[in-house]
Structure 1
Amino acid sequence: MRANDPSERAAKRREAVLKHLLDGEESERSVSVDSVAGALEIRRSRAALLLAELATVGWVCPRGETWRLTDDGRKVALEIVRRHRLLETWMARETGRPAEDWHRAARSAGARWDHGETNQLADRLGNPRFDPHGDPIPTREGDLRGAPRVSMAEWPEGLEAVIGHLEDEPETIYREMVRAGLHPGMGIRGLQRVADGSMEFTGEGRRIQIPATWLTMIHLEKSEPLLDPAVRRLSDRPIGSVSIVRELSPACVGAERSRLLDLGLVPGTEIRCEFASPFGTPRSYWIRGTMIGLRREQAERVLVLPQEGGAE
């Protein structure tokens, strides 16, 4: 089957609808024709047709203005979601692809995987419980358990938190969230609502504003222990500054994480930012007696504590 085969595109859309319905069950959110159209970024008429097709095979059924999975449909949806989240986990750990590409690549590759291959991948990965977005991965028995979610829209202002999960659909918004530097495991301080309905917070030393349309797509968890307000990203430290590595960002996984650890970027390591190229990146850092160049996207993955004695 060709990658652009219309039948394959239709199959992917049907799978996306089933996944959206299961996501609705997870978050206790009603699923409608409009929500399907929004999640898949398609016309309302097309969303209605997809739901009707799935109802014909007995996988979904209407309930007033909303739709839900049947028992058979839930089994199919769980297998789709299990495969998709395992593939995203594999991509995060082993391919080095950027986070904004995981969802689309997993959806494309997943259409060619069967049940046995999915279980083999799970065994290879050590049967992980959660994917890189913080979503629970269904077990091979079909068990799907995740902690109750609280969106940023519902979170009390001023209460410290950690991002536990980012919704990856609609995909365009997910990509924007990744570009804004958001990721599961990111600590949040000073959360406050702005007059236009957006919210602001400090994360990894940066003040970030979140549009109102993103708030229900970001889920937060309590931060224990409390966050250290001094933590910064290495990429934000000025030339001549001295820092101590606190940790690598939770968003740094797989080959990228191994590479930075091999360079000596472990907790407690002192780093001095020496100079930058004429284009600003890469920058040269003095690390464990060696001058090492890091691209900006690499330095963003290193969380540090500023030290006295360097330029600020």
Structure 2
Amino acid sequence: MNRFGRGRRENQRIRTEDALKHLLDCDESGRRATVESLAGAMGLARGRAAALLGVLRAEGLALAEGDGHRLTADGRRDALQVVRKHRLYETWLARETTVPPERWHAEAQKAEHHLDTSAVDELARKLGHPRFDPHGDPIPTREGELPRRPRASLASWPENAPAVIEHLEDEPAACFREAEKLGLAPGTRIDEPRHGGYGSIHCRVEGRHIEVPAAVAVLVHVRAPERDEQAPEDVFRLSELPVGGAAVVHALAPSCTGLERKRLLDLGLVPDTAIRCEFASPFGSPRSYDVRGALIALRRNQAERILVRPAS
């Protein structure tokens, strides 16, 4: 019976935290949090969503305003701490594991409910107190501060104006997976953007011309490049270097994260390193490359993450 009671309390706590996050998301995006919006976000029946909002009001975490709800100061504080756990855990997954990007959000959704304050503080310390998660979202501080910045969507960005991806929404998941397949990630530079049919965006990314579907373009938030973010126009991906071709490493693509990034750096693939494609397997992948006198084998998907420029 005690175990059953503990389970019910745990489930109620998780639902409460999820509801707090929904109200915070509505507040940050200028939307009204309602019974219907909470029911839709959490997959609850309308009656259950209404009861959950009643719990938030009873605990002093939310207030009713007309047909909507908003967080109290205590509710906002608690919601920001849940978001802090989520975004720090996503950052850890991106930097320290091989979990694919499309799984970061779901894994963090589970972990955020089971990390206590001391574990979160230790995680932040080990990560170097990052300010942003791998999607470009700001990470709330321990004190509950959340920086806000105006955002511009790639869908509405001026034509032919270069841009750098600042933030990438991870939902809907299908659109996020499509963005990842296109090589889009925070820090990726976009050149020559042009509006295409049905709201799509044609642009040049890492030496390759791509078409970003409208549903993806609205989820990509960009800004103008800084002076030190100007990229040479002759940069291309290592996967496009022919057998016998020589190049110089420019950088690892921003989409290259976690243990994969560490491995490539450990192999000596750092800026200005000379690299030569020696031969390919019968199926084209992997290929062998000469890096500082050592032969290393890279699969095509790995070579796609390495940006190079022609050898002088």
- TM-score normalized by the length of structure 1: 0.84
**Deviation at residue 242 of structure 1 after TM alignment:** 1.9
| Structure 2 counterpart of 1:250 | 254
Q: Specify which of 245, 263, 268 is matched with residue 267 of structure 2.
A: 263
Instruction: Describe the shift of the 1:259–1:28 C-alpha distance in structure 2 as closer, same or farther (beyond 3 A).
Output: same
Please identify, of 181-190 and 64-73, the stretch whose mean Cα deviation from structure 2 is larger: 64-73
Q: Distance in 2 between matches of 1:29 and 1:203?
A: 33
- Would you say the 8 A contact 1:283–1:295 is kept in 2? yes
**What is the aligned partner in structure 1 of residue 289 from structure 2?**
285
Aligned to 1:170: 172
Per-residue Cα deviation, 1:250-303 (whole angstroms, up to 9, x for no partner): 233343222112211111112222332233322211211122101222212211
- In structure 1, C-alpha distance between the alignment counterparts of 2:99 and 2:292, rounded to whole Å: 28
The 5-angstrom pairing of residues 91-170 of structure 1 reads: 91-170=93-172
Deviation at 1:56, TM superposition (A): 5.4
Check whether the contact 1:38–1:170 (CA below 8 A) recurs between aligned residues: no
Q: Give the stretch that moved more between structures: 55-64 or 152-161.
A: 55-64
Give 1:18 shift: 3.1
- Tell me by how many angstroms 1:161 deviates: 0.5
CA gap 1:76/1:172 in 2 versus in 1, 3 angstroms = farther
How far is 1:155 from its partner?
A: 1.7
- How many Å apart are 1:209 and its aligned residue? 1.8
Partner letter of residue 156 of structure 1? P
3-state DSSP class of the match of 1:213?
Answer: helix
Aligned pairs for 1:58-73 (under 5 A) are: 58-61=60-63, 63=65, 67-73=69-75
Residues 158-188 of structure 1 deviation map (CA, whole Å, 9 limit, x = unaligned): 1100001111223333233223321000000
Q: Structure 1 CA distance, aligned partners of 2:240 and 2:32?
A: 42
Assess, with a 3 A threshold, how the Cα gap between structure 1 residues 285 and 223 changes in structure 2: closer, same or farther.
same
Aligned CA distance change for structure 1 residues 144 and 11 (closer, same or farther; 3 Å): same
Residue 74 of structure 1: which of 52, 73, 76 is its match? Answer: 76
Letter in 2 for 1:277: S
Code of the residue aligned with 1:219 in structure 2: it is H
For 1:172 and 1:52, locate their aligned partners in 2 and report how far apart those are by CA, in whole Å. 34
Q: Is the 8 A contact 2:248 2:275 kept in 1?
A: yes
Indicate yes or no: 2:226 matched with 1:224.
Answer: yes
* Structure 1 Cα separation of the partners of residues 30 and 192 of structure 2: 28
Equivalent residues of 1:60, 1:73 under 8 A apart? yes
Tell me the amino acid that sits aligned with residue 225 of structure 2.
S
Provide the alpha-carbon RMSD of the alignment.
2.9
Please give the secondary structure, in 1, of the residue aligned with 2:197.
coil
Cα distance, 1:281–1:136 mapped onto 2, change above 3 Å: same
SS state at 1:119 partner: helix
Query: Structure 1's 37 and 247: CA in aligned 2 closer, same or farther, altered over 3 A?
Result: farther
In 2, Cα distance between the equivalents of 1:207 and 1:73?
A: 46
Q: State the shift of 1:142 in Å.
A: 0.4
Q: Could you tell me which of 209, 214, 217 is aligned with 1:215? A: 217
- The answer to whether the 8 A contact 1:231-1:303 is kept is yes
1:272 maps to: 276
Amino acid at match of 1:124: K
Q: Which TM-score applies when normalising by structure 2?
A: 0.84
Contact 2:203-2:209 within 8 A present in 1 as well: yes
Amino acid at match of 2:108: A
Q: 1:29: how far off?
A: 5.1
1:54 is displaced (CA, Å) by 4.3
Q: Is the 8 A contact 1:193 1:200 kept in 2?
A: yes
Contact in 1 for aligned 2:80/2:144 (Cα 8 Å): yes
Q: Does the residue aligned with 1:196 lie in a helix, a strand or coil?
A: helix
Matched, 1:238 2:242: yes
2: CA distance, partners of 1:171 / 1:28? 23
State whether residues 201 and 214 of structure 2, in contact with CA within 8 Å, keep that contact through their aligned partners in structure 1. Answer: yes
After superposition, the Cα gap between the structure-2 partners of 1:158 and 1:54, relative to the gap in structure 1 and judged at 3 Å, is farther
- Of structures 1 and 2, the larger Rg is shown by 2
Q: Mind listing any 5+ residue stretches in structure 2 that lack a counterpart? A: none
